[in-house]
Amino acid sequence: MAKRTKRKINKYKLSVGILVLLIITLIPIYFLTKDNNNLKDNTVNNPSTNPPENKETVYTANMIMVGDALAHDRLYNDAYNGTTYDFKPYLKYIKEKVSTYDIAYYNQETILGGTEIGLSSYPSFNSPQELGDAMIDAGFNLVSLATNHTLDRGKKAVLSSREYWNKQSSVQAVGSYSSYEEKDAIESKILTVNNITYAMLNYTYGTNGIPIPNGENYLVNLWDDTTNYENYKKEVEKDINRLRDKVDVLIVAMHWGREYTHEALPIQKKTAEYLSSLGVDIIIGTHPHVIEPVEYVGNTLVFYSLGNFISAQTSDSCSNYKCFIGLMSSLTITKTVKDGTSTIKIDNIENELIYTYHKNYRDYLVIPFSNPIIKDYLQDYENVYNKYSEVVKSNDERIKLVPLS
């Protein structure tokens, strides 16, 4: 009996040993499998190891624009304080608005050759460079220089003007240059704000019959609309093609049209259509000294004429305040980047009338109609507003004006 008992005891011990061995073997496998499952779960839930989601990034920049800075002697003589020419007080109500914008454009109608070569007024202008100082102080940083007055005082004034503008590190001035190398440096015309790239080209219809010196076409960008329109058109197309694919927004400032006329000429419309076909986003018109309509031509936003920004212009053609009423327009540029593709939208367009006040051609002030003080400086402001707001929106019902306050 004892032997049987011993055999039974041995079988029992063997069974226990096998069970213990299985437990020892299975436990690590269980935990290893569990850890692997956890690792898989962590991989699924860990964003850093997932494929990236389609992200959309949006950038915005705002732009404002005004028309001609036209400096007759009546204007700069009033600005003279005995030691220098100070135009800054004239712009105090404009600075409040302009200084808040990323891009701020104006047209320098008269050449800023400066006092060293002698100031002069109509018909051959040369203006104090302090006028540029005041505009920059007000926040303007994008300037067109190609006008019918660019060559009024010859090459010397152009080079003096260009030297002045080249010293302004925060300002891009285009349309008139000191050399072919400067004119053709296309990369220098590309600017960036808030990750949005933009550039402006600038052309004038003519130079008041003053010929460009032979071999020095860099002095002013010309697009003659009476004699060699098609030849100049080819040069403009080359300029645009060099820039179009390098920037998000392409602007062309055109000095064109007929003075003192509120309607765009057929040649302006023809040119706008052509520029639109080349992919220009915004066309800014100057020269008529009075405002003209705003409209879309295809996908291009066209301001046919912003009129005078600041002037002391006297003319029988300037009745009904029209040479003292300008347009100040603003817009928003939105760039959306998704899946490596950028799209550009231009909207939030606002058009506001501005008034250049003077008291017997002294104490000038440029005043937006949205500023309540307009009623203190322009008695007939409501009728003036109604008259010229109709001009602005006459071609396109989508165009709106900032209301009176």
- What would the 3-class secondary structure string for 381-393 be? HHHHHHHHHHHHC
Name every residue whose Cβ is closer than 8 Å to that of residue 109 and which is 6 or more positions away in sequence. 68, 69, 70, 71, 125, 147, 149, 286
Distances (CA, A) of 115 to 85, 108, 128, 157, 341: 10, 16, 6, 10, 50
d(CA 130, CA 248): 33
Mean pLDDT of 167-190: 96
Mean pLDDT of 293-301: 98
Is residue 21 over pLDDT 80? no
Mean pLDDT of 332-344: 96
Is residue 1 over pLDDT 60? no
Give the pLDDT score at 186: 87
- For 264-282, what is each residue's pLDDT tens digit? 999 999 999 999 999 999 9
Name every residue whose Cβ is closer than 8 Å to that of residue 327 and which is 6 or more positions away in sequence. 66, 67, 291, 294, 303, 305, 306, 307, 351, 352, 353, 354, 392
Is residue 14 over pLDDT 90? no
Q: What is the pTM of this model?
A: 0.87
Tokens of 366: 């440029």
Q: Give the three-state DSSP class for 271.
A: helix
Is residue 11 over pLDDT 80? no
d(CA 142, CA 115): 23
Indicate the residue type of 321.
Answer: Y
Closest to 306 in 3D by CA, of 292, 321, 320: 292
Vertex 283: Cα angle to 278 and 68 (nearest 5): 150
d(CA 228, CA 215): 17
The band of 119, judged by pLDDT with boundaries at 50, 70 and 90, is very high
- For 390-402, what is each residue's pLDDT tens digit? 999 999 999 999 9
DSSP 120: B
- For 359-389, what is each residue's pLDDT tens digit? 999 999 999 999 999 999 999 999 999 999 9
Mean pLDDT of 12-37: 46
State the helix-helix crossing angle for 266-277 and 229-243, rounded to 10 degrees: 30
The band of 20, judged by pLDDT with boundaries at 50, 70 and 90, is very low
- For 245-254, what is each residue's pLDDT tens digit? 999 999 999 9
Residue in the structure block whose two tokens are 């690792």 = 39
Q: 234 φ, ψ to 5°?
A: -65, -40
Q: Give the three-state DSSP class for 259.
A: coil
309 in Cβ contact with 68 (< 8 Å) = yes
Give the pLDDT score at 314: 87
> What percent of the chain is predicted at pLDDT more than 70?
87
Is residue 233 over pLDDT 90? yes
The band of 52, judged by pLDDT with boundaries at 50, 70 and 90, is low
d(CA 228, CA 223): 8
231 in Cβ contact with 283 (< 8 Å) = no
Give the pLDDT score at 343: 97
Give the pLDDT score at 6: 32
